[in-house]
Chains A and B, each alone.
Chain A
């Protein structure tokens, strides 16, 4: 805009115009594939019981139905709890791997990094089925335990929230590792050497130097896993045996079984609200860490 106002005097403005022009295709694509559907979803969540989102009056009834129903509060809490446990364990288990990959001098480093994130090349559905084979009542683990006469009856490892948690932790761990690996660039070996020279033992070096410096990476990894976990649908559905009620599964069932699309839209908007809150809190926390 400014470029058209000051064409001659302001070459920087022309540059800006070019930048804007270059952004247009991307912005248009974003508008069509992301913003418009989102707006439609928001509009659908404000419709009355019917299925055609437009043309009827606006109502907050769907939000009222969702927010006054203790069952949906329970579902919301289940979702947050799933997000917390999965992100905590994914980060705990991924941290040593990420730290090792960040610091190793091995010539295999590239290969090892590729191995750590290789599971992402396989669809989450396929990996979930893999976990079903391992954790089922007649799965690899239970049949091994039974063959060794360690158990009389199969241990319930799947078709419940334990199974959903185990599978999600493994499925989302590569994201945690990648995010932490990117965040570990600030780790400077010189600082550790300095600390060691000043008499700190390895535990103290870890506790006072490595951990604080790696916290932003840890936080990014945890946030990424948390957001992916609370919006997950396939794994809780396949591993949960119908017993794991989270927002993803409820939105699916309102949309496809009971065909209450406005309520499904309202639940999706609530999930979006939770996302936004978490991201705002994360940015505050990150600023706190850096400031």
Chain B
């Protein structure tokens, strides 16, 4: 590059910078959320189309290892938040709402709120569910010739010592109502039947805390089956040679619910609301579902049969898909984990 070119490049850059500051309306919205594949997909299928449509808003996506870490960050910054929007697990969102970390959204400012089902509008529209990642059974396609079809297949003695099941977290909290439902019981009344069902497959469990995670142990053949999340598994199925198979049980499942939340005290609340409205739109949720196999929440989303199959399983399983009363679950969350630890894991 000659000197002349450098100078013209410099002046061009200066002119651009001046134009930017003259515009001065560019708002930067910081979104903190899940890391890994989720972050990649969210950037590509939600943030980029949004920024293209709103050149005056710049979205900064900040990855967080897990929702607990996000909550720690938001708690520390409570008086002077640098984050505007948080994507976190519903159970953590409800905890955060007890601390007054999120602000309520107004349906007049976020019109897409009206298209969310009632269960998705949590704590007076402070936390809005935007996607659901189903709990499902993964199997190693090389060692398992006949994939399981039901949650009760987990108790089949042929899987002795061949199952990885992290139960002492949201996975267990979601599996309890599923097992309870199969036993014809209501999770708000008792979870004894579910704990009994868990104890029925417990002897088959090799690890209650697979390391590094519930996907890698299936991929490596260390176990045959693993109780895991669907979205990431579908991605790994497509990218890692199809060794991980997904056997969505016919009794249906429940999704780990992700919520979008406006941080109270956000300095870019207007732009943040515009983004939240887009993230809740049928268009954004349909794209995200098609691309990342996270179940949509917006009631206007129509999924293709192929996508529905990959998110929820067979038509039978799709019909049996359940949702939970999350605010109620939040009141028993730690108590359920305690019972799983004490009455199932510590006994096996």
Contact = CB atoms under 8 A, between A and B. Distances in A.
Contact of A50 (B98, B341, B346): B98
B327 interface: no
B231 to A, nearest CB: 20
B221 A52 contact: no
Interface in B68-110: 68-69, 71, 75, 78, 92, 95, 98-99
A51 B75 contact: yes
A258 B75 contact: no
Interface string B134-172: 000000000000000000000000000100001111000
A258 B333 contact: yes
A243 B168 CA distance: 11
Most buried by B among A132, A159, A253: A159
Given A51-B95, A245-B341, A256 B66 contact: yes
Interface stretch (B3-11, B201-209, B293-301): B201-209
Interface in B110-126: none
Nearest to A239: B211
A52 B78 contact: yes
Interface in A160-180: none
A138 interface: yes
B144 to A, nearest CB: 15
Nearest to A153: B161
B100 to A, nearest CB: 10
Q: Which of A50, A138, A242, A257 has the most CB of B within 10 A?
A: A242
A260 interface: yes
Which of A129, A255, A258 is the most central at the interface, judged by chain B CB atoms within 10 Å of its CB?
A: A258
Contacts of A129: 211
A276 to B, nearest CB: 27
A168 to B, nearest CB: 15
A8 B4 CA distance: 70
Given A71-B342, A253-B168, A256-B66, A241 B71 contact: no
Contacts of A243: 208, 345-346, 348
A154 interface: yes
A237 B333 CA distance: 22
Given A50-B99, A71-B342, A154-B161, A242 B333 contact: no
A93 B275 CA distance: 61
A254 to B, nearest CB: 8
B126 to A, nearest CB: 16
B334 interface: yes
Given A255-B68, A257-B68, A257-B337, A159 B342 contact: no
Contact of A257 (B161, B168, B222): B168
A259 B207 contact: no
Interface in A202-243: 237-238, 240-243
Interface string A94-118: 0000000000000000000000000
A136 interface: yes
A137 interface: yes
B332 to A, nearest CB: 11
A156 B69 CA distance: 34
Nearest to B211: A238
Contacts of A153: 161
A253 B337 CA distance: 10
17 contacts: A51-B71, A71-B341, A132-B211, A137-B206, A138-B221, A154-B161, A240-B209, A241-B208, A242-B207, A243-B346, A245-B346, A253-B168, A256-B68, A257-B169, A258-B334, A259-B71, A260-B334
Which 5 residue pairs of A and B lie closest in terms of their CB atoms, listed nearest first? A242-B208, A242-B209, A258-B334, A241-B207, A256-B68
Interface of A: 50-52, 71, 129, 132, 136-138, 153-154, 156, 159, 237-238, 240-243, 245, 253, 255-260
Given A52-B75, A71-B338, A258-B333, 8 more contacts: A51-B71, A137-B161, A242-B166, A242-B345, A253-B168, A257-B68, A257-B168, A259-B71
